[in-house]
Amino acid sequence: QLRSFVLRCAASDVLEVPQMGRVSLDHFSNTMQALKWDARDFSQGSPGAPYLEQLRAQIDELARRIPSAGGGSIPYATQRLVWGWMEARIIQECVEVIAKCGRKKSQEALICLAEDFQTLRSAVRQNFKPAAGDDKGEEEVQLLPPDNPLYVTTRWEYLDRYLEAHGYLPGEIVAWCRGHTEYPLRAHKALIEYLQSNPKAQRQAVIDVEAFLI
């Protein structure tokens, strides 16, 4: 457990500390959420394209640098764990972007963001692979045991489920939140505010979910 904690922290630092990467994840999500996601026409492309490209380029660079870190002395299994925790951190930040966009995002924006994040997913999955003919990386890295409550937060389903929840009816959202305690309260609040337009019902929903989670 200590080893996992250290590797998780190392992976987060690579993505969150500006001095260690081109752009911190926090800066990325704050920049993304400030864009015009209330629009309904994205035929000219995603407004987040330049910032996604910056992050994708950072992922590309890290995929080249990690194998040579420490003069190439870091065991391959450890490299894969670090990369796995980095992937998990990116997944979690994608959820943060959706939540931070608040009520202003349109349904079309959600579709656009889903496509944007699919690009990141492809970049992460395609970059850190063993050399051709090397089968060391065939099995998927398991960061947490499946029975761990936070297991899903390390997988892309964590993002997919949160995106899908934005299509629920207002009356269904409290039950959804109660059934998905792996998300932080701020993500639940953002979802409730997006789906529930009635201020009184919105406040009651937040109170119900908060009481359940705490």
pLDDT band at residue 77 using 50, 70 and 90 as cut-offs: confident
Question: What is the band of 39 on the pLDDT scale with cuts at 50, 70, 90?
Answer: very high
Q: Is the pLDDT of residue 2 over 60?
A: no
Distance CA 125, CA 13 (A): 20
Report how far apart, in Å, the C-alpha atoms of 210 and of each of 110, 137, 179, 181 are: 25, 41, 13, 11
Long-range pairs, 2-10, Cβ under 8 A, ≥24: 4/81, 4/143, 4/144, 7/78, 7/81, 7/82, 7/85, 8/85, 8/88, 8/143, 10/82, 10/85
Average pLDDT in the 191-202 region? Answer: 95
Residue 132's pLDDT is: 43
Q: Is the pLDDT higher at 131 or at 38?
A: 38
Note the helical H segments in the chain: 2-16, 25-33, 49-65, 76-100, 107-127, 157-165, 173-178, 185-195, 199-213
Q: How many CA atoms lie within 13 A of 24 on its CB side?
A: 9
Q: Read off the DSSP letter of residue 21.
A: S
Angle at alpha carbon of residue 88, lines to 36 and 160, rounded to 5° = 55
Region 164-176 average pLDDT: 96
The pLDDT, as a whole number, for residue 14 is: 60
Provide the pLDDT for residue 78.
Answer: 85
| For the ranges 11-15, 67-71, 80-84, 151-155, the one whose mean pLDDT is highest | 151-155
In this prediction, residue 166 has a pLDDT band, given cuts at 50, 70 and 90, of very high
Give the number of other Cβ atoms within 10 Å of residue 9's Cβ.
12
List, for residues 116-154, the tens digit of each pLDDT value: 999 989 988 887 654 444 555 456 778 888 999 999 999
Give the chain's mean pLDDT: 86
Cβ neighbours of residue 100 closer than 8 Å, sequence gap 6 or more: 29, 30, 32, 33, 190
Count of CB atoms within 10 A of residue 211's CB?
Answer: 8
Q: What is the pLDDT of residue 190?
A: 97
- Dump pLDDT digits (tens) for 52-72: 998 888 888 888 887 887 787
pLDDT at 209: 96
